Amino acid sequence: MKKITLFAIALLFSLCFIKPLMAQQKSLFDGKSLKGWHADVPDMDKNANAPNPFIVRNGLLVSLGDPRGHLITDAVYQNYRLEVEYRFAGKPGNCGVLVHASTPRALYGMFPKSLEVQMQHQDAGDFWCIEEDITVPDMEARRGPKANWGVNGNKLRRIKNLTDGSEKPLGEWNTMVIECLNKTVKVWVNGVMVNEGYDCTVDKGQIALQAEGSEVEFKKLLLKPIKKLSK
């Protein structure tokens, strides 16, 4: 009896710790609606008949690509791991996940102030600085001459990822993991660490998905708070 009691106490004790950790994890997409998100699409301001490029189809969140714009979380997030499963539904093209987003339409009257994690076919994991900045090792080799760095206009805003060939063949699902902790951002594509930056100029903000000319399907957008980065 004593052993059973001790076992029951140990089990109850462990469950007390496991449950809150599981409760913190949340899906940003419920599979049925765009609840928790709002679209910012400039063409929709001018044309009442312009379609919303973000829809739910067959249980997937879909960016139709046009008209161009962003789907932005209503909430602000900090210190998290975001797991994204996506694929190009038709022809390969461009899209991205924006982290630490804030001021809408800060660049070119379209892009919110943010740091973009690129999803463009064959360039997944690049950073694009959008009125925010980040530092990586071998910065000049991956960004170009220092004199031309910048976060707007025609400045060098792209920071190339560490490896090519991490994406799966077209039509197959890719997994992108983005970890944001304090002012560090780390990215994996299909289990391969493809980028890591530090001293980001911002450490929290909204999360956004792009409509940037290509149809992209998302089936997972899973967010979990973190206190340390994965290796």
Starting at the edge strand found earlier in the chain, the sheet holding 96-101 runs: 37-40, 69-73, 206-211, 96-101, 114-118, 127-130, 158-159
Q: Residues near 65 by Cβ (< 8 Å), separated by ≥ 6? A: 53, 93, 95, 211, 212, 213, 214, 215, 216
Let me know if residue 13 belongs to a domain.
no
Q: How many domains does the chain have?
A: 1
Amino acid at 191: G
CATH of the domain at 85: 2.60.120.560
Q: Which residues of 171-192 are buried (b: 16+ CB within 10 A; e: fewer)?
A: eeebebbbbbbebbbbbbbbee
Let me know if residue 21 belongs to a domain.
no
Let me know if residue 7 belongs to a domain.
no
Residue range(s) defining the domain that contains residue 181 = 28-225
3-state percent breakdown (helix, strand, coil) of the chain, nearest 5: 15, 40, 45
d(CA 176, CA 189): 5
Neighbours of 193 (CB within 10 A): 17
Let me know if residue 171 belongs to a domain.
yes
Let me know if residue 190 belongs to a domain.
yes
pTM (two decimals): 0.89
Let me know if residue 43 belongs to a domain.
yes
Neighbours of 11 (CB within 10 A): 10
Strand partners, 195: 187
**What does the block give as tokens for 176?**
């992108």
Count of helices and strands (H, E) across the chain? 3, 15
Residue 6 has a pLDDT of: 43
Residue 114 has a pLDDT of: 98
- Helix ranges restricted to H, the chain: 2-24, 42-46, 139-143
- Tens place of pLDDT per residue across the chain (231 aa): 444 444 444 433 333 443 333 348 999 999 999 999 999 999 999 898 999 999 999 999 999 999 999 999 999 999 999 999 999 988 999 999 999 999 999 999 999 999 999 999 999 999 999 999 999 999 999 999 999 999 999 999 999 999 988 999 999 999 999 999 999 999 999 999 999 999 999 999 999 999 999 999 999 999 999 999 999
Let me know if residue 202 belongs to a domain.
yes
Let me know if residue 195 belongs to a domain.
yes
